[in-house]
């Protein structure tokens, strides 16, 4: 899973600004941690991570000079798209990429997480599959 975050970092490492270090962590370490965090979230929480490439680029763009920001944006977009394709092709069989059992994305009336096995195409169990339909309906006016 981390091959994507390491690939992003390696492609961008030469362009990272070296002169700023805050609280003992270098800019290189911050960029690497941001890449790892984005890929981890993409792997474990795809349904709630709407624009992962944009999110990651906004987080790391301050560590690059203006002349390298276009390259950084293109590299992030290319590798995030490849990671999304890879994670979408993984067989679910009841476990996520970390080996944890999958759970429905809905909550019960008591506010606890639903413990049932989700359907692979929407992340909700058969009892809560109607929630996936309402997500599509709510997203249409926002897009317009």
Mean pLDDT, the chain, whole residue set? 82
Query: Does position 79 have pLDDT exceeding 70, yes or no?
Result: yes
Query: Does position 115 have pLDDT exceeding 70, yes or no?
Result: yes
Domain range list for the chain:
2-89, 103-144
Three-state helix/strand/coil letters over the chain: CHHHHHHHHHHHHHHCCCCCEECCEEHHHHHHHHHHHHHHHHHHCHHHCCCHHHHHHHHHHHHCCHHHHHHHHHHHHHHHHHHHHHHHHCCCCCECCCCCECCCCCECCCCCECCCCCCCCCCCCHHHCHHHHHHHHHHHHHHC
The whole-model pTM stands at 0.67
Q: Stretch 12-27: mean pLDDT, rounded?
A: 81
């Amino acid at each position: 899973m981390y091959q994507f975050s390491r690939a992003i970092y390696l492609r961008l490492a030469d362009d990272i600004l070296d002169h700023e270090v805050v609280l003992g962590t270098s800019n290189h370490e911050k960029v690497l941690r941001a890449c790892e965090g984005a890929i981890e979230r993409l792997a474990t929480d795809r349904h709630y991570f709407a624009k992962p490439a944009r999110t990651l680029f906004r987080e790391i763009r301050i560590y690059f000079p203006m002349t390298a920001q276009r390259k950084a944006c293109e590299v992030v977009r290319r590798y995030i798209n490849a990671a999304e394709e890879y994670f979408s092709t993984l067989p679910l069989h009841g476990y996520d990429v970390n080996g944890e059992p999958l759970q429905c994305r809905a909550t019960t009336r008591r506010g606890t997480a639903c413990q049932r096995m989700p359907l692979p195409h929407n992340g909700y169990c058969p009892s809560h599959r109607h929630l996936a339909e309402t997500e599509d309906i709510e997203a249409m006016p926002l897009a317009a």
